[in-house]
């Protein structure tokens, strides 16, 4: 299970080639092998394009910091170093400048100001808005499911979150700027510190908006001398739902992965023997909605309210991200 500290990207995932170093080493960065990220900063194109979108964004953020070491990162750019979940590649680099009178855009760099002060922290050598400010700022702007995953991660002890709901509510109410306040309050009201991964948070939103009964989180069962905790329990049918994130199986270590998969198979068999229908899905199934719903219907989970089609539609597009490629 990845924590915020595991997800925090404190250095560029790829080597950044600075023009002065390239000249010293005799590296020509003008060919197709190289990609320019900022003036005087390049990366190897193939390695960059092979990264998942949120890692590409982390490379861009660190390239910006290399050029502007005194900048104060905020919003998605600060989230990279706090380890807060991002699901695609944000379009822009975001910087807070308390000295500016108005916000400005310079290419893909958005420089923000605000009537509300921000607490600035230093992570490594980089300045950025505090986790409290970053969460309350971003939850106002992101699509609802993204905002829910963000808040859950910040308050979940299992995910390494250190914020409390009381601090988040107090901070949101103290803000003079009321833009996005309704969305922020929705995310705070729906958040749950028992959520153990962003995949669980996104799944919870989809389950609710699709009209299924509300699940209980992290229920525990003791069968055959073993204690098993499950992501979701749907009480009417005693059905169990599991949002799989492959990092929980430690796939980077083949031996550990094999043991984890064997243990998981035994765990599922044990729960099924004791009368629990079982539904499994991955994060991509939740984004697509229907595969998750199909798994729940197969497990007999009842629909108890009409689907919220507009909320489900919000899963398909985040206007703050670059378009996703298939």
* Model pLDDT for residues 103-115, shown as the tens digit of each residue: 999 999 999 999 9
**For residues 305-312, average pLDDT:** 98
Hey, what are 109's tokens? 């760099």
pLDDT tier at 257, thresholds 50, 70, 90: low
Across residues 202-211, what is the average pLDDT? 98
Q: How confident is the model at residue 326 (pLDDT cuts 50, 70, 90)?
A: low
Long-range contacts from 220-225, C-beta under 8 angstroms, 24+ separation: 221/271, 221/274, 221/276, 223/270, 223/271, 223/273, 223/274, 224/270
Buried b (16+ CB within 10 A) or exposed e, 47-78: ebeebebbbbbbbbbbbbbeeeeebbbbbbbb
The single-letter DSSP state of residue 320 is: T
Residue 29 pLDDT grade (very low, low, confident, very high; cuts 50, 70, 90): confident
pTM of the model: 0.92
Three-class secondary structure assignment of 154-201? HHCCCCCCCCCHHHHHHHHHHCCCCCCHHHHHHHHHHCCCCCCCHHHH
Domain boundaries, the chain: 4-196, 200-316
Say whether pLDDT at 66 is over 90: yes
Q: Are strands 41-44 and 72-73 parallel, antiparallel or unpaired?
A: unpaired
The rounded mean pLDDT for the chain is 93
Beta strands in 2-70 (DSSP E): 17-18, 34-38, 41-44
Residues 6+ apart with CB under 8 A from 163: 131, 132, 135, 154, 155
35-56 pLDDT, tens digit per residue, is 999 999 999 999 999 999 999 9
Name 120's bridge partners: 129
**How much is the pLDDT for 249?**
41
Max mean pLDDT among 15-29, 151-165, 233-247 falls in: 151-165
Banded pLDDT at 324 (limits 50, 70, 90): confident
CA distance 77 to 95: 8
**What are the distances in angstroms from CA 136 to CA 24, 129, 184, 322?**
44, 11, 7, 22
pLDDT of residue 98: 93
Q: Closest by alpha carbon to 301, among 270, 272, 276, 266?
A: 276
| pLDDT value, residue 156 | 98
pLDDT in tens, 263-305: 788 888 899 899 999 999 999 999 999 999 999 999 999 999 9
Quote the percentage of the chain above a pLDDT of 90.
82
10 Å CB burial of residue 325 (0-12, 13-18, 19+) is exposed
Mean pLDDT confidence for 72-93: 98
- In terms of pLDDT, which residue wins out, 326 or 149? 149
Q: Quick check: 304 and 213 in contact, CB under 8 A?
A: yes
Residue 325 has pLDDT above 70, yes or no: no
Burial of 237 by CB count in 10 Å (0-12 exposed, 13-18 middle, 19+ buried)?
Answer: middle
Report d(CA 11, CA 185) in Å as an integer.
33
CA distance 188 to 201: 12
CA dist 63 and 73 (Å) reads: 13
> Which of the four pLDDT bands, split at 50, 70 and 90, describes residue 102?
very high
The enclosing H or E element of 129 equals strand 126-129
- Per-residue burial over 293-303, b if 16 or more Cβ lie within 10 Å, else e, is bebbeebebee
Query: Under DSSP, is residue 222 helix (H, G, I), strand (E, B) or coil?
Result: strand
């Amino acid at each position: 299970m990845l924590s915020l500290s595991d997800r925090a990207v404190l250095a560029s995932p790829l080597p950044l080639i600075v023009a002065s170093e390239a000249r010293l080493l005799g590296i020509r960065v003008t060919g197709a092998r190289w990609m320019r990220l900022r003036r005087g900063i390049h990366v190897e194109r193939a390695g960059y394009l092979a990264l998942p979108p949120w890692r590409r964004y982390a490379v861009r953020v660190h390239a910006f910091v290399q050029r502007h070491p005194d900048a104060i990162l905020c919003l998605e750019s600060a989230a990279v170093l706090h380890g807060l979940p991002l699901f695609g590649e944000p379009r822009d680099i975001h910087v807070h400048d308390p000295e500016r009178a108005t916000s400005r855009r310079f290419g893909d760099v958005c420089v923000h100001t605000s009537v509300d002060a921000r607490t600035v922290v230093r992570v490594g050598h980089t300045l950025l808005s505090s986790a409290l400010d970053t969460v309350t700022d971003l939850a106002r702007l992101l699509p609802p499911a993204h905002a829910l995953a963000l808040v859950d991660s910040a308050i979940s002890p299992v995910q390494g979150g250190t914020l409390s709901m009381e601090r988040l509510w107090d901070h949101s109410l103290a803000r003079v700027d009321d833009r996005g306040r309704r969305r922020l309050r929705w995310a705070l009201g729906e958040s749950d510190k028992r959520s153990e991964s962003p995949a669980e948070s996104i799944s919870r939103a989809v389950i609710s908006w699709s009209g299924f009964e509300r699940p209980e989180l992290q229920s525990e069962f003791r069968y055959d001398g073993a204690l098993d905790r499950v992501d979701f329990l749907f009480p009417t049918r005693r059905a169990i739902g599991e949002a799989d994130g492959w990092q929980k199986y430690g796939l980077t270590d083949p031996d550990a992965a094999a043991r984890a998969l064997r243990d998981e198979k035994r765990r599922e068999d044990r729960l099924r023997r004791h009368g629990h229908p079982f539904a499994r899905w991955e994060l991509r199934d939740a984004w697509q909605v229907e595969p998750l719903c199909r798994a729940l219907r197969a497990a007999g989970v009842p629909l108890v309210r009409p689907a919220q089609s507009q909320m489900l539609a919000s899963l398909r597009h985040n206007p703050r991200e670059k378009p996703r490629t298939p």
